[in-house]
Amino acid sequence: MSAPLFSLRQLAKQFGTRVLFENERLEFESGSGYVLTGPNGSGKTTLLRIVAGLEPAGGLIEFRGQLSLIAAYPEEWRREVVYVHQQPYLFHTSIEKNLGYGLARRGMPAAERGEHARDALEWAGLGDRREVPPHKLSGGEKQRAALARAKVLNPTLLLLDEPTANLDGDARKQVLELVTALCIENHTVVVASHDPEIIRLAILNRVHVADGHIKSDD
């Protein structure tokens, strides 16, 4: 069996006196999809944020065979791990420039950024919305724009926090299709979700988070 792409070891996290995780372990294989399930407050979002390097915690983290303390999350890993909030924040500029933000941080010239951003917006069904400011987008469009902004970076590990929460009808269906497409496109995707349709996706491995423990179905 090959080494996992990403793993957390001896994970320890507490908020004040409440211990959320103690000596837990979690692994993600390259090119696989995962869905984190569990009740509200079980720590799914916290777990995603720890993986993204946005939340301090105790323990070790291994990525592509390199080991680090979680507390000393290496800067270069941030270029490969992208986290999308449950309610994504879009910068106060055009949608196209939002998509170009991460590309610019990777040193891509402006002309190329525009081309990549337009392709990603077409993928998300927002090709005609690229000059629109974020406050004029619906909730579903914002979520799709955030998915496109993450996808355009071609991350090694993509973390999605409740991507269909607060959406219904067509908006939810469209986001669900994009999440499925990302999983099929051989990205390593981890989704925290309560959505039964996401949990039932055969392409995703289920990881249950409850009572301070992390358990994979297999």
- Which residue ranges make up the site for another protein (CB under 8 A)? 52-54, 75, 78-79, 81-85, 87-89, 91-92, 101-102, 105-106, 133, 135, 149, 153
Tell me the C-alpha distance between 187 and 168, whole Å: 26
DSSP assignment, residue 216? E
Distance of closest approach, residue 118 Cβ to another protein, in angstroms: 18
Q: How far is the CB of 215 from another protein (least distance, A)?
A: 27
| Cα distance between residue 149 and residue 144, in whole Å | 9
Label residue 196 exposed, middle or buried (CB < 10 Å: 0-12, 13-18, 19+): exposed
Q: Does residue 43 contact residue 215 with C-beta atoms inside 8 Å?
A: no
Give 39 or 91: the residue with its C-beta nearer to another protein. Answer: 91
Q: How far is the CB of 48 from another protein (least distance, A)?
A: 10
Which CB sits closer to another protein, 105 or 213? Answer: 105
Among 146, 189, 188, smallest CA distance to 167 is for 146
Provide the minimum distance between the beta carbon of 23 and another protein in the complex, in angstroms, as a whole number: 27
CB closer to another protein, 113 vs 201: 113
Q: Which CB atom, from 30 or from 94, has the smaller least distance to another protein?
A: 94
User: What is the CA angle 64-29-99, rounded to 5?
Assistant: 75
Contact 73, 53 (CB under 8 A): yes
Alpha-helical runs (H) found in 10-67: 44-51
CB 89 within 8 A of CB 98: no
36 or 48, CB closer to another protein? 48
User: Which is nearer to another protein, 81 or 201 (by Cβ)?
Assistant: 81
Neighbours of 142 (CB within 10 A): 21
- Do strands 66-69 and 58-63 pair parallel, antiparallel, or not at all (unpaired)? antiparallel
Q: In the complex, what is the shortest distance from the CB of residue 109 to another protein, in angstroms, rounded to a whole number?
A: 16
Q: How far is the CB of 99 from another protein (least distance, A)?
A: 10
Residue carrying the six token digits 């301090």: 56
